[in-house]
């Protein structure tokens, strides 16, 4: 029983520490690479954007007014999510953008980017655009071009594969042509 209580305590500490997560720059780089943000200049723009918008804090929440809130790492506005249940343009619950599972945040951010570009984020516009971007090439997980991983492709929906930034898109097209011969 004592053991059970200790386990419970350990689990509670584990859960409460994983729920609020502030990434380091290199951890963030690794997580973004896992989520298919793998283009050199784009990736450092995303890292800059996240640093300016949320300070890499997955639980960052900004309530501008009763009608306007911004959620999570990317500070995604509530037109893209719905409180309490799935909804909004990303069909995601806003609360899901505040946990440390950032896969849903990333796919929603890519959707925002597809619709509005980086200019959606005013802090990117003011503090990243044309500025010196974070130096992520020193991070141990940083790699360019990305290693081909079959399971990465399985998880990538076709839509985001097609919007893969140049030159990655060209490279895969070229490989496809080569294979066909
Ligand atoms: C992360 O954001 C939450 C919610 O805004 C805040 O309570 C918390 O203190 C922040 N953590 C850090 C380390 O800044």
Taking only the tens place, the pLDDT of each residue in 103-130 is: 999 999 999 999 999 999 999 999 999 9
Dihedral of alpha carbons 32, 36, 141, 144, sign: negative
Residue 60 Cα to ligand 1 midpoint, Å, equals: 6
Say yes or no: CB of residue 96 within 6 Å of ligand 1: no
Which among 1, 23, 12, 15 has a CA at the least distance from the CA of 134? Answer: 23
Which residue among 59, 97, 99 is best mutated to probe the pocket of ligand 1, counting the most ligand atoms within 8 A of its Cβ? 59
Residue 87 Cα to ligand 1 midpoint, Å, equals: 25
| Structure-token pair, residue 174 | 């070229």
Query: Looking at the domain assignment, is residue 162 inside a domain?
Result: no
Mean pLDDT of all residues in the chain? Answer: 79
Query: Looking at the domain assignment, is residue 129 inside a domain?
Result: yes
Q: Which residue has the higher pLDDT, 107 or 157?
A: 107
Query: Looking at the domain assignment, is residue 59 inside a domain?
Result: yes
Please tell me the residue having the least CA distance from ligand 1 atom 2.
60
Residue 133, domain CATH? 1.10.530.10
- Over residues 147-171, the mean pLDDT reads 46
Contact indicator for 10, 123 with CB cutoff of 8 Å: no
Strand order in the sheet with 76-77: 61-63, 69-71, 76-77
Q: If DSSP codes are grouped into helix, strand and coil, which group holds residue 176?
A: helix
The count of structural domains within the chain is 1
Q: Give CA separation, 93 vs 29, 56, 66, 69, 98, in Å.
A: 25, 20, 17, 13, 10
- Tell me what pLDDT residue 127 has: 97
Residue 99 Cα to ligand 1 midpoint, Å, equals: 12
- Tell me what pLDDT residue 144 has: 66
Window from 85-89, 112-116, 117-121, 153-157 with minimum mean pLDDT = 153-157
Q: Give CA separation, 130 vs 2, 55, 126, 127, in Å.
A: 58, 20, 9, 8
- Residue 32: give the domain boundaries: 2-143
Query: Looking at the domain assignment, is residue 176 inside a domain?
Result: no
């Amino acid at each position: 029983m004592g053991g059970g209580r200790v386990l419970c305590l350990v689990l509670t500490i584990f859960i409460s520490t994983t729920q609020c997560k502030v990434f380091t720059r290199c951890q963030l780089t690794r997580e973004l690479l896992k989520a298919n943000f793998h283009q050199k200049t784009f990736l450092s723009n995303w890292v800059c954007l996240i640093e300016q918008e949320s300070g890499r804090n997955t639980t960052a929440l900004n309530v501008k007014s009763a009608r306007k809130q911004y959620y999570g790492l990317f500070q995604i506005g509530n037109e893209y999510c719905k409180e309490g249940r799935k909804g909004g343009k990303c069909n995601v619950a806003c609360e899901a953008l505040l946990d440390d599972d950032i896969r849903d945040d990333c796919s929603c951010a890519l959707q925002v980017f597809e619709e509005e570009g980086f200019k959606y984020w005013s802090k990117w516009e003011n503090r990243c655009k044309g500025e010196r971007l974070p130096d992520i090439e020193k991070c141990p997980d940083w790699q360019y071009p990305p290693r081909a991983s079959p399971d990465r492709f399985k998880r990538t929906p076709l839509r985001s594969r097609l919007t893969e930034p140049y030159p990655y898109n060209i490279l895969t097209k070229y490989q496809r042509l080569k294979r066909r011969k």
